[in-house]
Amino acid sequence: MKLSDFTMMGFKNLWRRKLRTTLTMVGVAIGAFSIVIMLSLGLALQESYTKQLEEWGSLTLIRINNNSYDFDTGVVKKNKLDDTAVEKIKNMDHVRAVSPLLSVSAMLKSGKYQAYIDITGIDPEAVQYFDLPDIERGSTISNDNPTGVLLRNSIYFHNPKSRNYSYDEESPVDVMEDTIKISFDDVYDEKTVPQYTKLNVVGVMEESNSEMGYENYAPIEQVKKWYKEQKRKEKGSKKSEEFSYSTILVSVDDTNYVADVQSKIKEMGFSSYSRVDELDQVNGMSNTIQLVLGGIGAVSLFVSAIGIANTMIMSIYERTKEIGVMKVLGCIVTDIRKLFLFEAGIIGLLGGIIGLVLSYGISALLNVYGPEIGQKLGIGAGSTISTIPIWLAISAVVFSIVIGMVSGFYPAVKATKIKAIEAMKSE
């Protein structure tokens, strides 16, 4: 039997029992819709978490600390983060940029106003890989301007002699226009008279909630000089002490290799952290949510599968004589089985398409009205409540076809076992 014959006979048989066929397809559509819309909620949640993590910091960024916890002994080991460690990490595969971090505390002064800040030294050549906030005014740090400092835009200057000031007020000092002086003396010691030098401010960053948006930055070599000078004053010695960096930043060329690089860093004896660690936890939680939601939707599709099986079995009883005629005319058994499987597959296909169209409609409504409803109910909701990727849409239709054919397999086999003579005698 040709494919055209299967198609013509299959659609003709389904159309003859259009009410039953329609009701069965509606059952499949509801099942497909339930699975798609449930999974879309879990996927949207995962996407929302991922975007949030990306806003907080790059997923390709690794922070290496100089403390490493030994789970076997329970001892915190302090490993030295020095230039040797930096060079070793730079030579690792998939590492595109490395920069040590070193911070110093300082006091800024402009006229009668002052502010306390920390300045973090970073490699100017690697800045572009660490997702610093965009520049609001001026420019970023560079080796061409070794003393230049890049400031946050939320530094608050206040008058220490005034008791009436608020950090919510607009700062009275414009760091790009006004003269700013800086001191690295121990400003909390009342006996110390701070010595100031002019601060070279090259730019101001936009306000940002990312992990790199809470610091002020200067070239690492300049911060080293400030740090060593500060330590000499604290120790009262002219001898420069050795030091290690507080943190090393590593930028990986692809998120897929972050775990591998972290593993190599651990082998060096250092502990590290990346947003990928959190992303793995989020993905695990999201997969659990999707499994639960998908299971709820699968119940509806299972019920629809029973409906398909029932429809096809009823069709056999109604078409017993027709099956007998087909056998008498020489139709082979496999063709009869294929015909019933084709009809069951068509029910699954059409039901899956209807369910998918319904899913897209409900998904659009959820994304339009969901956030507003969530706010009124006091429930935090992102801008995207439901998302249906193309792979989910295709999978839903294919799964519906498979469910239809699996549900129709027993009736199809049953149809092939009907004897031609007994079938011809049936009314």
Using one digit for the tens of pLDDT, what is the confidence trace for 322-353?
666 666 656 666 777 777 788 888 888 998 99
Q: By percentage, how much of the chain surpasses pLDDT 70?
A: 75
Query: What is residue 380's predicted lDDT score, i.e. its pLDDT?
Result: 47
Query: What is residue 386's predicted lDDT score, i.e. its pLDDT?
Result: 84
At 378, the pLDDT band (50, 70, 90 cuts) reads: very low
> By the 8 A CB rule, do 81 and 100 touch?
yes
Q: 353 versus 372: which is more confidently predicted?
A: 353
Nearest C-alpha neighbor of 104 from the set 229, 277, 235: 229
Q: What is the mean pLDDT of the chain?
A: 78
Query: What is residue 141's predicted lDDT score, i.e. its pLDDT?
Result: 92
Query: What is residue 379's predicted lDDT score, i.e. its pLDDT?
Result: 44
What's the whole-number mean pLDDT along residues 193-212? 86
Res. 419: pLDDT tops 50: yes
> By the 8 A CB rule, do 413 and 407 touch?
no
> By the 8 A CB rule, do 168 and 240 touch?
no
pLDDT tens, residue by residue, 133-178: 889 999 999 988 989 999 988 888 888 777 665 555 667 888 888 8
Q: 122 versus 72: which is more confidently predicted?
A: 122
What sign results for the dihedral spanned by CA atoms 126, 127, 128, 132? positive
Helix axis angle for 390-407 and 409-416, nearest 10°, is 30
What's the whole-number mean pLDDT along residues 102-120? 89
> By the 8 A CB rule, do 130 and 61 touch?
yes
Res. 54: pLDDT tops 90: no
What's the whole-number mean pLDDT along residues 106-117? 89
- Looking up tokens 């879309």, which residue turns up? 40
Query: What is residue 256's predicted lDDT score, i.e. its pLDDT?
Result: 83
Domain ranges of the chain: 3-55+280-425, 99-248
What's the whole-number mean pLDDT along residues 71-83? 63
Query: What is residue 384's predicted lDDT score, i.e. its pLDDT?
Result: 76
φ/ψ (deg, to 5) at 101: -120, 140
φ/ψ (deg, to 5) at 263: -65, -40
What's the whole-number mean pLDDT along residues 376-396? 74
Query: What is residue 420's predicted lDDT score, i.e. its pLDDT?
Result: 56
Tokens linked to 243: 């030091």
- Looking up tokens 């010691």, which residue turns up? 189
Res. 226: pLDDT tops 60: yes
Query: What is residue 120's predicted lDDT score, i.e. its pLDDT?
Result: 92
Of the listed ranges 160-174, 271-285, 373-387, the one predicted with least confidence: 373-387
* CA angle, residues 250, 253, 254, in degrees to nearest 5: 110
